[in-house]
Chain A
Amino acid sequence: MTHVGYVAVTWGLSFVLIGGYALTLVARGRKLSRQVPPEARRWS
Protein backbone atom coordinates (compact mmCIF):
# COMPACT_ATOMS: atom_id res chain seq x y z
CA MET A 1 0.00 0.00 0.00
CA THR A 2 1.36 3.43 -0.83
CA HIS A 3 1.40 6.11 1.83
CA VAL A 4 0.84 3.50 4.49
CA GLY A 5 1.94 5.89 7.17
CA TYR A 6 -0.63 8.53 6.29
CA VAL A 7 -3.44 6.03 6.03
CA ALA A 8 -2.52 4.42 9.31
CA VAL A 9 -2.15 7.68 11.22
CA THR A 10 -5.38 9.09 9.82
CA TRP A 11 -7.51 6.09 10.59
CA GLY A 12 -5.77 5.53 13.88
CA LEU A 13 -6.23 9.11 15.04
CA SER A 14 -9.88 9.03 14.07
CA PHE A 15 -10.48 5.88 16.05
CA VAL A 16 -8.63 7.30 19.04
CA LEU A 17 -10.46 10.62 19.00
CA ILE A 18 -13.93 9.21 18.54
CA GLY A 19 -13.34 6.23 20.77
CA GLY A 20 -11.83 8.39 23.48
CA TYR A 21 -14.75 10.76 23.35
CA ALA A 22 -17.19 7.84 23.54
CA LEU A 23 -15.42 6.50 26.61
CA THR A 24 -15.46 9.83 28.42
CA LEU A 25 -19.13 10.11 27.56
CA VAL A 26 -19.93 6.74 29.07
CA ALA A 27 -17.88 7.58 32.14
CA ARG A 28 -19.69 10.88 32.62
CA GLY A 29 -22.95 9.06 32.16
CA ARG A 30 -22.17 6.62 34.90
CA LYS A 31 -21.02 9.28 37.31
CA LEU A 32 -24.09 11.41 36.77
CA SER A 33 -26.44 8.44 36.92
CA ARG A 34 -25.31 7.82 40.46
CA GLN A 35 -26.15 11.38 41.43
CA VAL A 36 -29.56 11.68 39.86
CA PRO A 37 -32.54 9.62 41.06
CA PRO A 38 -34.29 7.49 38.45
CA GLU A 39 -37.45 9.54 38.42
CA ALA A 40 -35.66 12.56 37.06
CA ARG A 41 -34.55 10.63 34.06
CA ARG A 42 -37.80 10.61 32.18
CA TRP A 43 -38.78 13.15 29.63
CA SER A 44 -40.41 16.05 31.35
Chain B
Amino acid sequence: MADYEALKTAVISGKVAQVKEWTQKALDGGANPQEVLDQGLIPAMDIVGAKFSCHEFYIPEMLIAARAMQAGIAILRPLLAAQGGKPRGKVVIGTVKGDLHDIGKNLVSLMLQGGGFEVLDLGADVKPERFVDAVKTAQPHFVMMSALLTTTMLAMKDTVEALKAAGMRDKVKVAVGGAPVTQRFCDEIGADFYAANATGAVTKARDLLPV
Protein backbone atom coordinates (compact mmCIF):
# COMPACT_ATOMS: atom_id res chain seq x y z
CA MET B 1 0.00 0.00 0.00
CA ALA B 2 1.49 3.31 -1.07
CA ASP B 3 1.90 5.92 1.64
CA TYR B 4 1.84 9.13 -0.34
CA GLU B 5 1.71 11.32 2.76
CA ALA B 6 4.98 9.81 3.93
CA LEU B 7 6.48 10.24 0.45
CA LYS B 8 5.38 13.87 0.31
CA THR B 9 6.77 14.56 3.77
CA ALA B 10 10.09 13.03 2.75
CA VAL B 11 10.30 15.21 -0.38
CA ILE B 12 9.32 18.40 1.44
CA SER B 13 11.94 17.79 4.13
CA GLY B 14 14.55 16.87 1.55
CA LYS B 15 15.22 13.32 2.77
CA VAL B 16 16.71 11.54 -0.22
CA ALA B 17 16.94 8.07 1.35
CA GLN B 18 13.36 8.21 2.59
CA VAL B 19 12.07 9.37 -0.80
CA LYS B 20 13.77 6.40 -2.44
CA GLU B 21 12.37 4.10 0.20
CA TRP B 22 8.75 5.32 -0.03
CA THR B 23 8.85 5.44 -3.82
CA GLN B 24 10.11 1.87 -3.97
CA LYS B 25 7.58 0.72 -1.36
CA ALA B 26 4.77 2.23 -3.39
CA LEU B 27 5.93 0.43 -6.51
CA ASP B 28 6.47 -2.83 -4.63
CA GLY B 29 2.95 -2.51 -3.31
CA GLY B 30 1.64 -2.45 -6.85
CA ALA B 31 1.23 1.26 -7.46
CA ASN B 32 1.48 2.49 -11.02
CA PRO B 33 4.59 4.68 -11.59
CA GLN B 34 2.42 7.46 -13.01
CA GLU B 35 0.27 7.35 -9.88
CA VAL B 36 3.38 7.63 -7.65
CA LEU B 37 4.41 10.68 -9.64
CA ASP B 38 0.95 12.26 -9.70
CA GLN B 39 -0.02 11.53 -6.09
CA GLY B 40 3.36 11.67 -4.40
CA LEU B 41 6.13 13.65 -6.02
CA ILE B 42 4.22 16.33 -7.92
CA PRO B 43 1.92 17.32 -5.03
CA ALA B 44 4.96 17.41 -2.75
CA MET B 45 6.68 19.92 -5.01
CA ASP B 46 3.44 21.92 -5.18
CA ILE B 47 3.63 22.24 -1.41
CA VAL B 48 7.31 23.21 -1.65
CA GLY B 49 6.38 25.92 -4.16
CA ALA B 50 3.63 27.20 -1.88
CA LYS B 51 6.02 27.32 1.07
CA PHE B 52 8.49 29.26 -1.09
CA SER B 53 5.81 31.72 -2.13
CA CYS B 54 4.84 32.43 1.48
CA HIS B 55 8.48 32.75 2.60
CA GLU B 56 8.42 29.63 4.71
CA PHE B 57 11.02 28.14 2.36
CA TYR B 58 14.01 29.85 0.76
CA ILE B 59 16.44 28.76 -1.94
CA PRO B 60 18.24 26.09 0.18
CA GLU B 61 15.02 24.37 1.27
CA MET B 62 13.78 24.44 -2.32
CA LEU B 63 16.99 22.95 -3.72
CA ILE B 64 17.12 20.30 -1.03
CA ALA B 65 13.51 19.27 -1.69
CA ALA B 66 14.15 19.24 -5.44
CA ARG B 67 17.16 16.96 -4.94
CA ALA B 68 14.99 14.55 -2.98
CA MET B 69 12.26 14.73 -5.62
CA GLN B 70 14.78 13.87 -8.32
CA ALA B 71 15.84 10.77 -6.39
CA GLY B 72 12.26 9.57 -6.67
CA ILE B 73 11.97 10.52 -10.33
CA ALA B 74 15.18 8.59 -11.08
CA ILE B 75 13.43 5.43 -9.89
CA LEU B 76 10.23 6.17 -11.81
CA ARG B 77 11.71 7.45 -15.06
CA PRO B 78 12.64 4.11 -16.69
CA LEU B 79 9.30 2.62 -15.64
CA LEU B 80 7.37 5.57 -17.03
CA ALA B 81 9.34 5.38 -20.27
CA ALA B 82 8.62 1.67 -20.57
CA GLN B 83 4.91 2.43 -20.21
CA GLY B 84 5.10 5.08 -22.92
CA GLY B 85 4.06 7.73 -20.40
CA LYS B 86 4.22 11.32 -21.55
CA PRO B 87 5.26 14.37 -19.55
CA ARG B 88 2.70 17.01 -18.74
CA GLY B 89 4.47 19.40 -21.09
CA LYS B 90 7.85 20.16 -22.56
CA VAL B 91 10.00 23.22 -21.86
CA VAL B 92 13.19 24.58 -23.41
CA ILE B 93 14.89 26.83 -20.87
CA GLY B 94 18.07 28.91 -20.75
CA THR B 95 19.82 32.01 -19.47
CA VAL B 96 20.20 34.45 -22.35
CA LYS B 97 23.25 35.52 -24.32
CA GLY B 98 25.92 37.38 -22.34
CA ASP B 99 24.50 36.27 -18.99
CA LEU B 100 25.93 33.55 -16.73
CA HIS B 101 23.50 33.90 -13.83
CA ASP B 102 21.69 30.59 -13.72
CA ILE B 103 20.45 29.85 -10.21
CA GLY B 104 17.04 31.35 -10.95
CA LYS B 105 16.80 29.43 -14.19
CA ASN B 106 17.87 26.24 -12.38
CA LEU B 107 15.18 26.72 -9.75
CA VAL B 108 12.51 27.17 -12.41
CA SER B 109 13.83 24.06 -14.16
CA LEU B 110 13.69 21.99 -10.98
CA MET B 111 10.20 23.17 -10.11
CA LEU B 112 9.00 22.43 -13.63
CA GLN B 113 10.36 18.89 -13.36
CA GLY B 114 8.68 18.62 -9.99
CA GLY B 115 5.50 19.75 -11.71
CA GLY B 116 5.64 16.94 -14.24
CA PHE B 117 7.27 18.79 -17.13
CA GLU B 118 10.11 17.56 -19.29
CA VAL B 119 12.83 20.22 -19.34
CA LEU B 120 15.58 20.73 -21.89
CA ASP B 121 18.04 23.05 -20.14
CA LEU B 122 20.31 24.85 -22.62
CA GLY B 123 22.43 26.31 -19.81
CA ALA B 124 23.69 29.91 -19.64
CA ASP B 125 24.90 32.44 -22.25
CA VAL B 126 22.46 30.98 -24.79
CA LYS B 127 22.33 32.75 -28.15
CA PRO B 128 18.93 33.32 -29.83
CA GLU B 129 19.75 30.86 -32.61
CA ARG B 130 20.32 28.09 -30.06
CA PHE B 131 16.85 28.66 -28.65
CA VAL B 132 15.48 28.52 -32.19
CA ASP B 133 17.36 25.29 -32.97
CA ALA B 134 16.09 23.71 -29.76
CA VAL B 135 12.51 24.66 -30.60
CA LYS B 136 12.88 23.10 -34.03
CA THR B 137 14.31 19.83 -32.74
CA ALA B 138 12.57 19.39 -29.37
CA GLN B 139 9.19 20.91 -30.31
CA PRO B 140 8.45 22.16 -26.79
CA HIS B 141 5.29 23.81 -25.52
CA PHE B 142 7.34 26.60 -23.93
CA VAL B 143 10.57 28.55 -24.30
CA MET B 144 11.60 30.09 -20.98
CA MET B 145 14.35 32.69 -20.72
CA SER B 146 16.13 34.16 -17.71
CA ALA B 147 18.43 37.20 -17.30
CA LEU B 148 20.08 38.99 -14.40
CA LEU B 149 20.93 42.33 -15.99
CA THR B 150 18.90 45.04 -17.68
CA THR B 151 21.39 44.92 -20.56
CA THR B 152 21.32 41.14 -21.05
CA MET B 153 17.53 40.89 -20.80
CA LEU B 154 17.39 42.70 -24.15
CA ALA B 155 18.57 39.41 -25.70
CA MET B 156 15.09 38.08 -24.85
CA LYS B 157 13.68 40.39 -27.49
CA ASP B 158 16.30 39.13 -29.98
CA THR B 159 15.19 35.57 -29.27
CA VAL B 160 11.52 36.41 -29.80
CA GLU B 161 12.48 38.06 -33.10
CA ALA B 162 14.63 35.07 -34.10
CA LEU B 163 11.71 32.72 -33.40
CA LYS B 164 9.51 34.90 -35.59
CA ALA B 165 12.11 34.98 -38.39
CA ALA B 166 12.37 31.19 -38.26
CA GLY B 167 8.59 30.85 -38.48
CA MET B 168 8.50 29.21 -35.04
CA ARG B 169 6.95 31.93 -32.90
CA ASP B 170 3.41 30.55 -33.06
CA LYS B 171 4.64 27.05 -32.23
CA VAL B 172 5.61 27.90 -28.64
CA LYS B 173 4.65 30.07 -25.70
CA VAL B 174 7.53 32.32 -24.62
CA ALA B 175 8.07 33.04 -20.93
CA VAL B 176 10.53 35.52 -19.39
CA GLY B 177 11.85 36.11 -15.88
CA GLY B 178 14.78 37.38 -13.85
CA ALA B 179 15.74 40.30 -11.63
CA PRO B 180 15.16 43.21 -14.07
CA VAL B 181 12.27 41.63 -16.00
CA THR B 182 8.76 42.99 -15.53
CA GLN B 183 5.32 42.39 -16.99
CA ARG B 184 5.76 45.64 -18.89
CA PHE B 185 8.96 44.36 -20.53
CA CYS B 186 7.27 41.04 -21.29
CA ASP B 187 4.50 42.91 -23.08
CA GLU B 188 6.97 45.19 -24.90
CA ILE B 189 8.88 42.33 -26.48
CA GLY B 190 5.83 40.23 -27.30
CA ALA B 191 6.50 37.35 -24.91
CA ASP B 192 3.52 35.35 -23.68
CA PHE B 193 4.03 35.50 -19.95
CA TYR B 194 6.21 36.74 -17.11
CA ALA B 195 6.63 35.17 -13.70
CA ALA B 196 8.33 36.73 -10.68
CA ASN B 197 9.56 33.40 -9.32
CA ALA B 198 9.80 29.66 -9.98
CA THR B 199 6.44 28.84 -8.47
CA GLY B 200 4.72 31.42 -10.63
CA ALA B 201 6.40 30.05 -13.75
CA VAL B 202 5.10 26.53 -13.08
CA THR B 203 1.59 27.73 -12.28
CA LYS B 204 1.36 29.82 -15.44
CA ALA B 205 2.82 27.05 -17.60
CA ARG B 206 0.21 24.63 -16.30
CA ASP B 207 -2.57 27.12 -16.99
CA LEU B 208 -1.40 27.64 -20.57
CA LEU B 209 -0.99 23.97 -21.50
CA PRO B 210 -3.33 22.83 -24.24
CA VAL B 211 -6.18 20.80 -22.76
Are A and B genuine complex partners? no
